[in-house]
A and B are shown apart, each in its own frame.
Chain A
Amino acid sequence: MFVCTNMKRTLLILAVVAALGAVFFWLATGANRGWTRTSVPVKTLDQVTGIEGIEYRKQFVPGLDFLAAALLGAALLGGASLLFGNKQRQTNTKP
């Protein structure tokens, strides 16, 4: 009985932490509304020719796909918590 209650609570906590963590991470890294990127362009100016060169620096920038996947995962965790009923109260009310 305690196992069910603890599992339900753990899953719910995990779901909330995952959802909030994903949203916070997405916001903190610039709230990219495009696809997730693993590199970002860095522009460099060639002083002689005036050409703006483009180099790519490795950097993880989560996009909406990352946010959607994380929120889906959180929703699944939250949904899974419903599978565990709260039977502790019923047990305690019995004489």
Chain B
Amino acid sequence: MKKTLLALIGLTALTSAALGAPQTFDFKDPKGVNNIVFKLDALLEATQGSANGITGSVTFDPDKPALTRGKLVVAAASLHVPNPMMKEHLHSRQWMDVAKYTDITFETKELKNVKTSGAQTTADVVGTLTIKGVSKEITAPIKLSYLKDKLSQRVPNLKGDLLVIRSTFTIKRSDFGINPAAPQDKVSDEIELALSVAGAAAR
């Protein structure tokens, strides 16, 4: 009985692997490479910074990329700009209020216009972006790169796959209540975001 049960479990695992079951990719990045760059290009002043406190998980099936779902979380305190006073302002209550709103999140709802070519998939991801407690549904172009069996090249002695997600899109700070009264000639209302993250699914 015990042998039959073990055989069944083994068979199920093999079948799942053969059919290419969805994999869950963990985006906690021990190498600290994952990042999101933000740019504000105002008339009088350009501001650029980045954040690398990214975590989250994404479920991806290389055979059915349209079913990709997941959630990415950016620690608001990891937002960095090279000027210390500007950073202090950015983290302050008036701007991002990182003490109260500790996380910036994006949760997928669906993928549209999915096109796959080899290991690359492009699509428009529809999801909910939450910044400073304000949630908005947004659509952003996304590029997924499935790197099969590449995890060991990044983390020795660990077998598995990698999923790289890239996306560049624009949001308005006034939509999320990020100091909407600030003059737009100095701090642009439009924020360009460029996301580059890699998640790992160990086997």
Chain B binds chain A: yes
Interface positions of A from 33 to 58, Cβ below 8 Å from B = 34-41, 44, 46-56
Q: A48-B147, A49-B164 are in contact. Are A38 and B31 (CB under 8 A)?
A: no
Q: How many A-B residue pairs have CB under 8 A?
A: 62
New A-B contacts (5) at CB < 8 Å, excluding given A48-B150, A49-B164, A49-B198: A38-B83, A48-B153, A49-B145, A49-B147, A51-B33
Residues of chain B whose beta carbon lies under 8 Å from any beta carbon of chain A: 31-35, 37, 45-46, 50, 52, 80, 82-86, 145, 147, 150, 153-154, 162, 164, 196-198
Contact of A39 among B34, B82, B85 (CB under 8 A): B82
Whether the pair B35, A49 counts as a contact (CB closer than 8 A) is no
Whether the pair A41, B82 counts as a contact (CB closer than 8 A) is yes
Chain B residues with Cβ below 8 Å from A61 are 82
Whether the pair B154, A48 counts as a contact (CB closer than 8 A) is yes
Q: A53-B32, A56-B80 are in contact. Are A35 and B86 (CB under 8 A)?
A: yes
The 3 closest A-B pairs by CB, nearest first: A53-B33, A37-B82, A49-B198
Whether the pair B162, A51 counts as a contact (CB closer than 8 A) is no
1/0 per residue, CB under 8 A from B, across A58-75: the answer is 000101000000000000
Chain A to chain B contacts (Cβ below 8 Å), 20 pairs: A34-B83, A35-B85, A38-B82, A38-B84, A41-B50, A44-B33, A46-B198, A48-B154, A48-B162, A49-B145, A49-B198, A50-B164, A51-B33, A51-B34, A51-B35, A53-B35, A54-B37, A54-B50, A54-B52, A61-B82
| Least Cβ–Cβ distance between A47 and chain B, in angstroms | 8
Name the residue on A nearest B200 (C-beta): A49
Whether the pair A46, B33 counts as a contact (CB closer than 8 A) is yes
Chain B residues with Cβ below 8 Å from A52 are 196
Q: Could you tell me how many residues of chain A have their Cβ less than 8 Å away from some Cβ of chain B? A: 22
A38 to B84, CA, bound (A): 7
Chain B residues with Cβ below 8 Å from A55 are 32
Chain B residues with Cβ below 8 Å from A56 are 80, 82
Chain B residues with Cβ below 8 Å from A35 are 83, 85-86
Chain B residues with Cβ below 8 Å from A46 are 31, 33, 154, 198
Contact of A51 among B50, B83, B164 (CB under 8 A): B164
User: Which among A34, A37, A49 has the highest number of chain B CB atoms within 10 Å?
Assistant: A49
| Least Cβ–Cβ distance between A73 and chain B, in angstroms | 18
Whether the pair B31, A53 counts as a contact (CB closer than 8 A) is yes
Whether the pair A51, B154 counts as a contact (CB closer than 8 A) is no
Chain B residues with Cβ below 8 Å from A34 are 45-46, 83
